[in-house]
A = this chain, B = another copy of it.
């Protein structure tokens, strides 16, 4: 073992930021996890795509799972803070519901890769981290359910709907978007949100019309 590392590229070129390395690893993992899944993506692939090595990876992340957790956390925290803003902005459950749908759609389209990974690779989180993320996710769902219950109590929303089921329906409608949304498509998140809101609030049926 006389000559190790015979040729190395120059590092710390000018205004060097090691945090950029970490970010580029996360970006690489984001697109690979989205396309191939967590198990389907090796550390090797992640570092190759970022033009780095496994050594660099394990300098910035302690395990592969920690990286996954960071990705999930970025999204769910963004979602939570957006919901918090809505709750402070208005009290009207009808407005709140429209806004919840709107921020769900915009954050899903903005964090498309994060969201895909969030829903598809949740099970790969270890015990404590899984519990933590699941807790934040429940918080989001409680916000939806709270608004619906409030709307019923205030007499805006139908009493014959179970708030839990209505919540799951609405959340599912929004969350499912990650499966089909394309930035190149004909509709943006705002327009989709408007249609979903109308659909759920006003209904698809034309009132009173029984034929054309």
Q: Flag if A202 contacts B205 (CB, 8 Å).
A: yes
Q: For residues 148 through 194 of chain A, which have their beta carbon under 8 Å from a beta carbon of chain B?
A: 148, 151, 153-158, 160-162, 165-166, 168-177, 179-180, 187, 191-192
Contact partner of A211 (CB less than 8 A), chosen from B154, B174, B191, is B154
**B198→A200 contact, CB < 8 A:** no
What is the copy number of this chain in the assembly?
2
Q: How far is the CB of A93 from chain B (nearest CB, A)?
A: 10
A199 to chain B: which residues have CB within 8 Å? 161, 166, 169, 200, 203
A91 to chain B, nearest CB (A): 13
- Chain A contact residue count (CB 8 A cutoff): 52
Give CA–CA (A196, B200) in the complex, Å.
10
Q: Please determine whether B195 and A200 come into contact, CB atoms closer than 8 angstroms.
A: no
User: Quick one: which of B151, B153, B174, B195 contacts A204, CB cutoff 8 A?
Assistant: B151
Given A36-B123, A123-B36, A201-B205, also A171-B161 (CB < 8 A): no
CB distance from A173 to the nearest CB of B (A): 5
